[in-house]
């Protein structure tokens, strides 16, 4: 049974952490295999205030009704968060045989495409964007502390970890070289928009910094920067009594930075801008073409000072502590995790796994925090024989069942072959 609970390091850097635990659950069936190859994909979009069907409507390019917007606006918090990721990867791991001088270690390699988005915003900002500024006539719309981060990069990782020893500490480390594809960051320390009662003028008081990498070169694999990343973990297993074991694990993931090249730009808007319409010298002169001046760019350029130059960004790194209690065909995984500098709240989770057969496992659990509030996770893992293993997992199954009120949606898929 101990083998059943042994872990591999295959998914050290892959996707959703609960899913990762799940993927390891059939490794014992193939302990004699030395190589493992897998293809993985995961995606999530979570918020503490925006329901899934609203995000879907945006993503699917639908026309969103005012009633729908007002329903969402009615459930907004003082501070609202949203986070999304879409990652896919290939992994390969190799365990040298017992005769090798490296028999105490496992080696792995992966190529990953990573996309991360997170943000926080006030209810006023949501209303300004989706309802317009008229509702703020005579008032100030406040979107202080608005923050939005978009990060796309490719990760090339190699790593090593120790093989498990009964009662010993197991550890591993993965080092990554990163290709920066796209980065956008908006941070509004202060942002207020006052609309006069009759709309004759608008005041915009701002202290906003906007950083972006080269926007003319954002296709997959485009290189606008370079960086590094480090993943590391340590774990220890305990046997409490016959068929009852406990394993604790601490890991750091995506600790690193990307330096973006000189084609990047930093824009700063730190002023009070009074806008009372495009000033036209002679409205009766048709050559004046007043209406041609009415574009957002001309206003933007008046408010913002933009400068080219190199910028740097920190990866949204993860700190994770996990404990798995195993008893016969049951497992109980619980833990906490935190993603820093990414508008993420401390996430606490509890997941139960049940092996229906040696080759089929289901899981069900719940979590609180992260980008959302409360979520239900569930998954399915199957050993299809001949070394083939598939996993399907969701940290937010509620998003598929009740998207009208659910605040998150996620899915993780993995196909693995031991040989």
Partner 1 sequence: MYLTMTKPLFNSYFLFFLILTAFALSSCKKESDQPSWDVDILAPLISSSMTINNLVSDTLIKINPDSTVNLVYTSSLINYSADSLAQIRDTNLVSGFPIFSGTFPGGYQIVPLTPTVMNFQVSGVVLKKAILKTEFINIIMSNPIGCTLIFDYEVPGATLGGIPFRVFDSIPGNTRYSKTFSLAGYSLDLTGPGGTSSNTMSVSIVAYISKNVLKYTIPNTTALIDSNRIYNTQAEYVQGYLGQSTKNIGPQRSAFSLFKSIRSGILNFSKINITLDMDNSVGVDATINLLKISSINTKTGTTVNLICPSVINNSINVSRASQTGNPASPVDSTIKSVVINSSNSNISTQFFANLPNQLAYSLQVLVNPLGNISGDNDFIYSGHGINANLQVNIPLSALASNLVLADTLLLNLSNSKQIQKVNSGSLYLYLTNGLPFNAQVQIYTLNNINNKLTITDSLIQTPNNTILSANMAYIGNLWKVSSSVNSKLAIPLTKSKINNLVNAKKVIVLATFNTPAQNNFINIYSYYQLDFKLVADFNYNLSTKN
Give the footprint of partner 1 on this chain (CB under 8 A): 57-66, 69, 129-135, 137, 195, 198-202, 275-286, 290, 294, 355-360, 382-385, 390, 392, 411, 413
Q: CB of 407 within 8 A of CB of 50?
A: yes
Residue placing its CB nearer to partner 1 in the complex, 129 or 244: 129
Residue placing its CB nearer to partner 1 in the complex, 307 or 357: 357
Tokens at residue 315, please?
């990866």
Residue placing its CB nearer to partner 1 in the complex, 90 or 346: 90
Listed residue (117, 111, 110, 93) closest to 43, CA to CA: 117
CB of 245 to partner 1, least distance (A): 19
Tokens at residue 359, please?
């080759």
Residue placing its CB nearer to partner 1 in the complex, 23 or 337: 23
Distances (CA, A) of 61 to 53, 116, 214, 343, 401: 12, 20, 26, 26, 21
Rounded to 5 degrees, what are φ and ψ at 397? -65, -25
Residue placing its CB nearer to partner 1 in the complex, 42 or 106: 42
Packing angle of the helix pair 66-74, 123-131 (nearest 10 deg): 180
Listed residue (355, 360, 349, 328) closest to 395, CA to CA: 349
Q: Report the C-alpha gap between 235 and 170 in whole angstroms.
A: 5
CB of 69 to partner 1, least distance (A): 6
Listed residue (352, 314, 340, 324) closest to 244, CA to CA: 324
Residue placing its CB nearer to partner 1 in the complex, 90 or 280: 280
CB of 416 to partner 1, least distance (A): 12
The contacts of residue 49 (CB under 8 Å, 6+ apart) are: 72, 75, 76, 77, 80, 81, 407
CB of 173 to partner 1, least distance (A): 32
CB of 63 to partner 1, least distance (A): 5
CB of 170 to partner 1, least distance (A): 27
User: Angle at the Cα of 20 (from 16 to 26), degrees rounded to 5?
Assistant: 155
CB of 206 to partner 1, least distance (A): 17
| Residue whose structure tokens are 């990163």 | 178
For 76-114, the DSSP string reads --SSEEEEEEEEEEEEEEE---TTSTTTTEEEEEEEEEE
CB of 40 to partner 1, least distance (A): 12
Residue placing its CB nearer to partner 1 in the complex, 276 or 341: 276
Q: Report the C-alpha gap between 77 and 16 in whole angstroms.
A: 26
CB of 296 to partner 1, least distance (A): 9
Residue placing its CB nearer to partner 1 in the complex, 132 or 309: 132
Residue placing its CB nearer to partner 1 in the complex, 258 or 406: 406
């Amino acid at each position: 049974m101990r083998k059943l609970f042994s872990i591999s390091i295959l998914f050290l850097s892959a996707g959703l952490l609960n899913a990762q635990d799940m993927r390891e659950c059939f490794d014992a069936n193939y302990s004699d295999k030395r190589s493992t190859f897998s293809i993985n994909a995961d995606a999530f979009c979570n918020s503490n205030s925006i329901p899934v069907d609203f995000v879907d409507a945006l993503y699917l390019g639908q026309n969103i009704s005012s009633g729908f917007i007002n329903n969402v606006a009615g459930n907004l918090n003082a501070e609202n968060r949203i986070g999304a990721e879409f990652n896919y990867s290939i992994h390969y791991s190799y365990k040298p045989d017992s005769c090798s001088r490296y028999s105490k270690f496992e080696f792995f390699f992966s190529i990953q495409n990573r996309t991360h988005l997170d943000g926080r915003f006030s209810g006023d900002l949501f209303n300004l964007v989706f309802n317009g500024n008229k509702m703020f006539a005579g008032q100030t719309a406040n979107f202080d502390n608005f923050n939005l981060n978009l990060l796309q990069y490719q990760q090339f990782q190699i790593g090593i970890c120790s093989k498990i020893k009964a009662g010993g500490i197991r550890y591993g480390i993965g080092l990554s070289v990163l290709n920066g594809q796209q980065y956008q960051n908006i941070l509004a320390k202060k942002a207020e928009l006052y609309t006069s009662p009759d709309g004759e003028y608008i005041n915009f008081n701002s202290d906003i910094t906007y950083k972006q990498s080269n926007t003319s070169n954002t296709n997959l694999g485009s290189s606008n920067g370079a960086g590094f990343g480090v993943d590391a973990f340590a774990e220890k297993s305990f046997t409490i009594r016959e068929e009852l074991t406990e394993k604790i694990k601490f890991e750091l993931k995506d600790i690193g930075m990307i330096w973006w090249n000189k084609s990047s730009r930093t824009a700063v808007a730190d002023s009070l801008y009074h806008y009372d319409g495009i000033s036209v010298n002679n409205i009766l002169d048709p050559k004046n073409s007043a209406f041609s001046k009415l574009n957002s760019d001309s206003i933007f350029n008046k408010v913002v000072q933009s400068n080219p130059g190199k910028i740097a960004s920190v990866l949204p790194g993860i700190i994770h502590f996990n404990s798995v209690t195993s008893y016969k065909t049951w497992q109980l995984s619980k833990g906490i995790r935190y993603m820093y500098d990414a508008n993420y709240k401390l996430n606490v989770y509890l997941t139960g796994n049940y092996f229906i057969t040696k080759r089929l496992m289901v899981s069900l659990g719940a979590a609180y925090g992260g980008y959302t509030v409360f979520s239900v996770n569930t998954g399915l893992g199957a050993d299809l024989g001949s070394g083939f293993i598939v996993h399907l997992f969701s940290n937010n199954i509620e998003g598929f069942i009740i998207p009208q009120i659910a605040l998150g949606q996620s899915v993780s898929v993995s196909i693995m072959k031991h040989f």
